[in-house]
């Protein structure tokens, strides 16, 4: 599965649910049909501009953050996680498939990693 696959699948599913053809979707979202066709065929990358992805999400009635992540991007509202270390570590740990310590936690030398408790009394790291 390529990085484009989740995005293309979401767009195709949304088009089917809404009964939209490619040209109609492109008219609603001000996109070039040739470009979107190539994206859906896996020949081009999804749009990189968040505003374009949001227009597509609205037209397809898909949660914008879900479509943005499906396109391999980080929604702007999620970027605050970089400023909130505790929240970032929790999200990283939740998303990690390698166990309790997520990627961020594993990349910090253990002696530098803070030893704190979260709201549930579990160690963060």
Q: Answer whether residue 107 shows pLDDT above 70.
A: no
Confidence band for 102, pLDDT divided at 50, 70 and 90 = very low
Mean pLDDT of 100-109: 46
Tokens of 24: 């109609």
Output the CA angle 106-112-115, nearest 5 degrees.
Answer: 85
On whether the CB atoms of residues 33 and 44 are closer than 8 A, the answer is no
Whole-number Å distance between alpha carbons of 7 and 77: 19
- The pLDDT score that the predictor gives to residue 109 is 42
The tens digit of pLDDT for each residue in 27-85 reads: 999 999 999 999 999 999 999 999 999 999 999 999 999 999 999 999 998 888 888 88
Mean pLDDT of 94-123: 49
Output the CA angle 15-17-21, nearest 5 degrees.
Answer: 30
- The pLDDT score that the predictor gives to residue 79 is 85
Q: Which CATH architecture has domain 4-77?
A: Orthogonal Bundle (1.10)
CATH 1.10.260.40 residue window(s) in the chain = 4-77
Among the ranges given (19-28, 85-94, 98-107, 112-121), the one the predictor scored with the smallest mean pLDDT: 112-121
Q: Answer whether residue 106 shows pLDDT above 90.
A: no
The pTM score is: 0.70
Number of CB atoms found within 10 A of residue 63's CB: 11
On whether the CB atoms of residues 46 and 7 are closer than 8 A, the answer is yes
- The pLDDT score that the predictor gives to residue 38 is 97
Higher pLDDT, 120 or 80: 80
């Amino acid at each position: 599965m390529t990085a484009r696959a989740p995005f293309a699948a979401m767009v195709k599913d949304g088009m089917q649910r809404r009964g939209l053809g490619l040209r109609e979707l492109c008219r609603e979202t001000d996109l070039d049909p040739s470009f979107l066709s190539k994206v859906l065929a896996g020949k081009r990358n999804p749009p990189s501009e968040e505003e374009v992805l949001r227009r597509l999400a609205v037209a397809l009635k898909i949660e914008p953050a879900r479509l943005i992540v499906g396109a391999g991007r980080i929604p702007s509202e999620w970027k605050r996680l970089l400023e909130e270390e505790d929240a970032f570590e929790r999200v990283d740990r939740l998303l990690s498939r390698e166990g309790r310590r997520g990627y961020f936690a594993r990349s910090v030398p253990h002696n530098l990693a803070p030893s704190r408790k979260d709201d549930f009394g579990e160690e963060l790291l």
